[in-house]
A = this chain, B = another copy of it.
């Protein structure tokens, strides 16, 4: 068999074994990492904008779109948690516990870097059994139980983008000059 044909065959066999795992890996590691890098660049723009317009950083960092909504910093922590917890749980690992004590733009940049570094510890093979795992999330008012597939598609992905978009819109609402291109990267 020619080398090119053999490579194609081998890659097809790998594809078949790993596709499900690979799609989850693809979303959780390269795509989420890319979005976190976009957020990092957005934070840099927000910080520069606050300095230029002489706005207290806390106006952005504690910004909300409704009085009973979580502030900007918390949106980023939860977005980070979706990536950290999503990847860990779907790979059958215990998610690392982080203090959620970020207060400044510098702290948030560090949180993003730590989240991306955590994602880089996973390989496609880690998600081979992901879709069949039982995932339990404990909340103050009860436990949510999912299979891995529903946890990924119906919880992690929509929550990640929910908190990312909310952080972005808090800045947009406060006049930071960012657009869809910053969000998508």
- Give the B-binding residues of A (Cβ under 8 A): 15-17, 19-20, 23, 26-27, 31, 34-35, 65-66, 69, 149, 153-155, 157-159, 161-162, 165-166, 169, 172-173, 175, 180, 183-185
Q: How far is the CA of A15 from the CA of B131 in the complex (A)?
A: 12
A128 to chain B, nearest CB (A): 12
List of B residues within 8 angstroms of A16 by Cβ = 16-17, 19
The 10 closest A-B pairs by CB, nearest first: A161-B161, A165-B165, A19-B19, A16-B16, A23-B23, A65-B173, A66-B172, A19-B20, A31-B153, A162-B165
Q: How far is the CA of A157 from the CA of B156 in the complex (A)?
A: 13
Known A20-B23, A153-B26; judge A158-B183 contact (CB<8 A). yes
State how many copies of this chain the complex holds.
Answer: 2
List of B residues within 8 angstroms of A184 by Cβ = 154-155, 158-159
Q: How far is the CA of A162 from the CA of B169 in the complex (A)?
A: 10
Q: Are B34 and A65 in contact (CB under 8 A)?
A: no
List of B residues within 8 angstroms of A35 by Cβ = 158
Q: Are A69 and B165 in contact (CB under 8 A)?
A: no
